Amino acid sequence: MESVLANDLTTIGQSNHECCKVAVHVIKQLEEALENEINRLDETIARLCGKRDDLSQQLDKCMVALAPHRRLPADVLQYLFLICTEVIVTEDGFSWGLFFPFSSIDIPVQIILSHVCSFWRHIALSTPSLWSSLRVIDPLR
């Protein structure tokens, strides 16, 4: 009998033959067991995806903490900030400086730099020469 059932189970859904009552019962049990296993695996996958997301967020925080710009000394950042505020005038009288194309408003570089983080704000506010060349453009012109 088991060999007949085993043979019937290997061809489930592959023929139009009607299964015997015992085979139908075994197939229904198998169907329920498979659905339970699929549900268990779905729950495991959801739990693992949540854990992966948590670990990914922790990894991102580690990468931010170890970013090279975080290791720059304050005096180097001051120097870089001053370079960012320089306006260069070319021989033909054209002047240009650092601009931020993502901004629809012409915000002074000093303001942008001072809003990156509290450390940069402290450096920007404690560098008087950074603010001596503040350019404010009238948005109505």
Q: Per mean pLDDT, which range of 3-17, 78-92, 123-137 is the poorest?
A: 3-17
Confidence of residue 1 (pLDDT cuts 50, 70, 90): very low
In a domain, 141, yes or no: no
Of the two residues 13 and 83, the one the predictor is more confident about is: 83
The stretch 109-134 carries a mean pLDDT of: 90
> Are residues 54 and 77 part of one domain?
no
Q: What is the pLDDT of residues 47-66, one digit of tens each?
A: 999 999 999 999 999 998 89
In the chain, how many domains are there? 2
> Are residues 28 and 73 part of one domain?
no
> Are residues 88 and 58 part of one domain?
no
Q: CA 5 to CA 30: how far, in whole Å?
A: 12
Asked whether 97 and 81 are in contact (CB, 8 A), the reply is no
Q: What is the pLDDT of residues 6-16, one digit of tens each?
A: 555 566 666 67
115 lies in which domain range? 68-131
Q: Which of 65, 89, 113 is the last residue of a domain?
A: 65
In a domain, 136, yes or no: no
Given a cut of 80, whether residue 89 has pLDDT beyond it is: no
Of the two residues 95 and 14, the one the predictor is more confident about is: 14
Q: What is the pLDDT of residues 16-28, one digit of tens each?
A: 767 678 878 888 8
Q: Which of 49, 65, 81 is the last residue of a domain?
A: 65
**Helices within the chain (DSSP H only):** 2-10, 21-65, 74-85, 109-114, 118-125
In a domain, 43, yes or no: yes
- Which letter does DSSP use for residue 17 in this model? P
Q: Which of 47, 65, 83 is the last residue of a domain?
A: 65
> Are residues 85 and 30 part of one domain?
no
**Token digits for 135?**
């350019």
Total count of residues recorded for the chain: 141
Of the two residues 105 and 86, the one the predictor is more confident about is: 86
In a domain, 138, yes or no: no
> Are residues 40 and 73 part of one domain?
no
In a domain, 54, yes or no: yes
In a domain, 120, yes or no: yes
